[in-house]
């Protein structure tokens, strides 16, 4: 469909030139029905014509929605292409990891050293299967009913593009449960489905530990992480008090990293 394809390219060009008004009005003038599907060719390199690696189907309504949200398509594209990590953190033994936390305490926790030392045995046991992340690798967010600190959004290990979203367990305040995995778990544990036994439940319901003001990510985690930029845009809507907007963003856009890709 060459006509629609060039339309998308036109939009993206306008967008790149920061000509957002023109992009929006062009999109509005060309758009017919909401459910029209267009095909977008994915390029392996920017600016190179004909280097197509795969074909993705992007609903035109999604493109329009992105423009309405003010989400920068170019930013999302480049976010999906780069694979940079500023600092590679190695997985250390529990003892070495604990020593590293003590040595760089202000990067991990606001607690005093004595508090961390008094929790040493508990932390060592957590460190067997969990890894500590520094404070700039996670933040707290709002829930859909705008309650603060109800979400913990954490970057993946050695990854500044993918995040997972956790919520605190009321029964175990030190445990924050992965939201995506919890949804899967709930589906599986509904009546009529064979109950998951305790051992596999640990795999099916990954948590992070939040102990002594330190966040520990689980080493084993299999759900697909989400795109940081999308999750943060969703949080921005919540911070503006725009609950319907946030809810509709969740419904319309797939937050999983790389699955909203139309580069
Ligand atoms: Zn998960």
- The predicted pLDDT at position 70 comes to 79
Instruction: Please tell me whether residue 54 adopts helix, strand or coil conformation.
Output: strand
CA of 192 to the centre of ligand 1 (A): 23
Helix (H, G, I), strand (E, B) or coil at 65: helix
* Distance, CA of 48 to chain centre: 29
On the CB side of 6, how many CA atoms lie within 13 Å of its CA?
Answer: 2
Instruction: Tally Cβ neighbours within 10 Å of residue 25.
Output: 12
Cα of 256 vs centre of ligand 1, distance in Å, is: 11
Taking Cα atoms as reference points, which of 164, 256, 169, 172 lies closest to residue 218? 164
Please tell me the predicted confidence (pLDDT) of residue 71: 78
Tens place of pLDDT per residue across the chain (263 aa): 344 445 566 666 776 676 767 766 666 655 433 333 333 333 333 333 433 333 445 566 677 778 788 777 667 766 666 555 667 888 999 999 999 999 999 999 999 999 999 999 999 999 999 999 999 999 999 999 999 999 999 999 999 999 999 999 999 999 999 999 998 888 777 666 555 554 444 446 899 999 999 999 999 999 999 999 999 999 999 999 999 999 999 988 899 998 875 43
Could you report how far apart the first and last alpha carbons of the chain are, in Å?
A: 17
CA of 146 to the centre of ligand 1 (A): 22
In the chain, % helix, strand, coil (3-state, to 5) comes to 45, 20, 35
What does pTM read for this prediction? 0.71
Residue 149, CB half-sphere, CA atoms under 13 Å: how many? 2
Alpha helices of 17-59 — where are they, by DSSP H? Answer: 20-30
Task: Report how far ligand 1's centroid is from the alpha carbon of 225 (Å).
Answer: 7
């Amino acid at each position: 469909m060459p006509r629609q394809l060039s339309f998308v390219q036109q939009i993206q060009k306008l967008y790149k030139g920061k000509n957002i008004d023109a992009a929006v009005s062009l999109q509005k003038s060309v758009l017919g029905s909401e459910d029209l599907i267009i095909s977008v060719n994915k390029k392996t390199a920017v600016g190179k014509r004909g280097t197509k690696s795969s074909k993705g189907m992007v609903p035109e309504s999604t493109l329009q929605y992105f423009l309405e949200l003010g989400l920068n398509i170019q930013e999302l594209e480049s976010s999906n292409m780069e694979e940079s990590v500023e600092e590679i953190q190695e997985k250390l033994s529990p003892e070495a990891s604990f020593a590293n936390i003590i040595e760089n305490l202000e990067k991990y926790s606001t607690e005093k050293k004595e508090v961390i030392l008094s929790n040493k045995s508990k932390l060592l046991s957590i460190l067997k299967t969990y890894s500590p992340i520094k404070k700039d690798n996670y933040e707290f967010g709002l829930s859909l009913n705008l309650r603060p600190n109800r979400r913990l959004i954490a970057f993946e290990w050695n990854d500044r593009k993918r995040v997972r979203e956790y919520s605190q367990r009321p029964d175990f305040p030190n445990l924050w449960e992965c939201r995506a995995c919890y949804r899967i778990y709930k589906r599986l544990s509904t009546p009529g489905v064979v109950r998951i036994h305790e051992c596999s439940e640990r795999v099916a319901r990954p948590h992070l530990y939040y102990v002594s003001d330190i966040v520990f990510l689980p080493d084993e985690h299999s759900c697909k992480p989400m795109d940081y930029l999308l999750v943060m845009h969703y949080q921005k809507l919540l911070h503006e008090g725009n609950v319907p907007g946030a809810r509709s963003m969740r419904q319309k856009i797939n937050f999983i990293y790389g699955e909203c890709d139309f580069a």
